[in-house]
Structure 1
């Protein structure tokens, strides 16, 4: 479709997004960014969710619905679902509206690290049944497409990297500022990381790095079931005075102004939004060597390490500390090339019309 005709037609587009809940989690934040790009260009975007109350400002109308009852989506051209319950719901109740789903992680790896074996099996069983019915699947990398082709078969796949906006820094609260300023005054290199505190995110590796690298401190932003274990590990390693857990923070990117290095240390990941925010802020990046990132950056762009190998993490830290400026510029170059909001929005709109043209 020509650009001019696409611009005319997109003004008529109506999209319903299905989310499990409206909280500050990676897939929800991704959806928020996408909505920011879409809402000025399409006729209508709305969110429908199943659990809890709205805890994250999405900037559009949010409606809570029951996962056991069909909702009338006839006013929408597309239902775009994200995560397990929305995918299962869409597979059952989207008969009259075209369904698109976005996959944000490698399902089996993520769930097996976050849930009990039995609970993970139950979720995966029903989720796989739902995805078997899906025709239109968005993923963030070619490696993830390969994974899902083996998992649920051939679909109308589209690879679209995440996109974010560049935020202006704002002040953080006084208590947190005081703590981070103390690290700076002591001459520490501050390593930062953001995410849900669970085993899959691998934050314990940062604490173990502090034990062998005495010139650095860490700020790990987030909340979750592993907080107690991480605090205990810090005490055992004798680094309690060099690691700071502020908890969950809205607009956590404001803390990046205090970070010298961003560490993305996950064992498995769909795509790290906090990582992309760090790149947009020109932060040098240490990154676990996951297949999902191979399409976008190499060892000249980030300091890779093998997840679970502290010696490898130490090597990556020493590599990046010698070339902070080089890796800083590499981060921003990657952001501009692959991860802008405009690029993500344009690619989604084109895909929506591709789906509509095929199915109508």
Structure 2
């Protein structure tokens, strides 16, 4: 759409689970920027996080139900059984949004509504954007609905968050393009008292959901093997109990979450940030944020952002073996000058390549 001010976007999200994270921050930030350019945005879905964020930002938002996406065995069965009803319900929702809000662009975030709403959006003459923030895994590769997804993709422009993600999706979809997540910076406040650096120990940080694929247990083991280190973990999840049992509470601090302004302050205080993903991570926004605030970063090569970086220049990139991470950490701890150089180059790279204005311009070209 040549004039973005004419665009009226309907953002949809009917997720399996909801929590405030990178996808939600990315979505509401983009919509706020589009709003400044005269583009109107609306939300429809079952995601309580985005319903709240859209309403707080002054956008029209409507709660709707369209089942959970077919990404587990139970919901694959239920979704398939209900699919005829869900398909017509999706058409009804979209038609009402067209009539009430005059929307002309469908901005789909979840797997389910991409399957159900895309043909209707095509019929109604709408432009269609599919946003893919989720890790591509067996839920997708072994999903019988993948063939329908692939068929409908010819009518959509599929946007992924990293160049690495393109390679995972290209065999299955058409019109896929990468628009890297911009680094969205908040003001920096002071750290909580329990996080103030009170000693000269090497301070390592990680921000991740506590699940098997994030490799936080390996980071804890790395810290335990080096007496002069401390670790701050920001995150929660099903492995919280296991991580607490594993961690030495005198050297490992676990915080479920931090306000973003305090998270920014944490990045600035670190001697090293580690993103230890064990499975494909679509981007790795927390690594980009840490780099923006001048922390040297050690990451595994399954992080999407790693494809944009040069190992040893903007970050240290290793395979996901414990021994590889251990070797890299030892080297970084010994060489302060190397860490400083990597931090400076990483910061410069992120500030240049992951600007919000650049992401907005790329989205404008699509809508």
| TM-score, normalisation: structure 2 | 0.80
2:272: which partner in 1?
261
**What residue ranges of structure 1 are gaps of 5+ in the alignment?**
113-119, 353-360
Does structure 1 retain, via aligned residues, the 8 Å contact 2:284–2:304?
no
Is residue 2:49 matched to residue 1:40? no
Write out per-residue CA displacement over residues 333-360 of structure 1, whole angstroms, 9 at most, x where no aligned residue. 12122211111111011122xxxxxxxx
Select which of 110, 113, 120 maps to 1:83: 110
Match runs of 1:169-248 below 5 Å:
169-172=188-191, 177-181=192-196, 184-234=197-247, 239-248=248-257
Instruction: Tell me the secondary structure at the aligned position of residue 107 of structure 1.
Output: coil
Say whether the 8 Å CA contact 1:24–1:56 is kept in structure 2. no
The alignment of Structure 1 onto Structure 2 pairs a total of residues equal to: 323
Tell me the C-alpha RMSD between the 2 structures.
2.4
- Separation in structure 2 between the aligned mates of residue 53 and residue 33 of structure 1, nearest angstrom: 14
Tell me what 1:331 maps to. 346
TM-superposed deviation, 1:196: 1.7
Structure 2, unaligned runs of 5 or more: 67-85
Deviates more, 1:99-108 or 1:334-343: 99-108
Distance in 1 separating the partners of 2:282 and 2:238: 20
| 3-state SS in 2 of match to 1:163 | coil
Residue 275 of structure 1: how far off its partner (Å): 1.6
CA distance in 2, matches of 1:253, 1:26: 14
Question: 1:92: Cα distance to partner?
Answer: 5.4
Which of the numbers 296, 306, 310 marks the counterpart of 2:319? 306
Q: Per-residue deviation at 1:302?
A: 0.5
Find the counterpart in structure 2 of residue 17 from structure 1.
Answer: 11
In 2, distance between residues paired with 1:296 and 1:241? 36
* Partners of 1:16 and 1:78 within 8 A in 2: yes
Contact 1:90–1:99 (CA under 8 A) maintained in structure 2: no
* Structure 1 position 242, deviation (Å): 0.9
Cα deviation, residue 270, structure 1: 0.5
Secondary structure of residue in 1 paired with 2:209: coil
Relative to structure 1, is the Cα distance of residues 316 and 246 closer, same or farther in structure 2, using a 3 angstrom cutoff?
Answer: same
Structure 2 partner of 1:108:
137
Q: State whether residues 14 and 65 of structure 2, in contact with CA within 8 Å, keep that contact through their aligned partners in structure 1.
A: no
Give per-residue Cα distances to partners, 1:31-53, cap 9 Å, x unaligned.
12322332211320122221446
Post-superposition CA distance 1:157-185 (Å, at most 9, x none) = 2221111233220234xxxx22222xx22
Cα distance in 1 between the residues matched to 2:302 and 2:319: 9
Matched residues in 2 for 1:88 and 1:203: separation? 34
Distance 2:302 2:147 in 1: 23
CA distance in 1, matches of 2:249, 2:45: 40
Deviation for aligned residue 1:292: 3.1
Matching residue within 287, 290, 298 for 1:275: 287
Distance 1:27 1:81, change over 3 A: same
Q: What is the SS of the residue equivalent to 1:15?
A: strand
Which residue of the partner structure matches residue 80 of structure 2? Answer: none
Corresponding residue of 2:65: 66
What is the rounded CA distance, in whole Å, between the counterparts of 2:114 and 2:58 in structure 1? 21
Q: CA-to-partner distance for each residue in 1:64-108, whole Å, 9 max, x for gaps? A: 112142313321121111132332343354341222101224421
* SS at 1:196 equivalent: coil
**Structure 1 counterpart SS, 2:206:** strand
